[in-house]
Structure 1
Amino acid sequence: MYTQCKGYLLDEQKGEFVNDRGEKISYHKARFYDLDSRRIFKVSVPDDADALPEEQVHCLLGFEVVAGEKFSKLNYSGFELL
């Protein structure tokens, strides 16, 4: 499923670490502000996603909703300038 909202990028965080089993784990997360609901939310940024917008620039943001049995998450897809 795909969803959109008007908002802007607050910040992003990426890095890697080694877990208890010796596996190398990489992550790339971003926090956005939704202008309609006035809330901050976090998303995952896949390696094949479009570039993130500049911070504090109002955009129409697109996300893929990944719904699981117990949890759901948002994956960043792209943006359009407003």
Structure 2
Amino acid sequence: MAATTTHFPSQKAPCGRAAAGDHHIESDDDGLSFDDVRFSCGCRETRHTYHDGCIHVRTVRHDGKVLRDERSTEHEAFEV
């Protein structure tokens, strides 16, 4: 599984603030991938794609409020 983490100096976080953070990506050759963004304010965005084609997208604000929590199956149309 290949993994990379990139730091970014400022990007709009889910709470609306401009915040620095880290973007972490992991993937394998069979379709599994994790795409996580963590902001310095505490907000987090994740997109996980599994081997069977299912996708889970979750956005959590720094105070813990879940702004988005969606799952799809390989048979559903899913836009992010």
Q: Give the TM-score normalised by structure 1.
A: 0.32
Structure with higher RCO (Cα < 8 A, 6+ apart): 1
Q: Give the TM-score normalised by structure 2.
A: 0.32
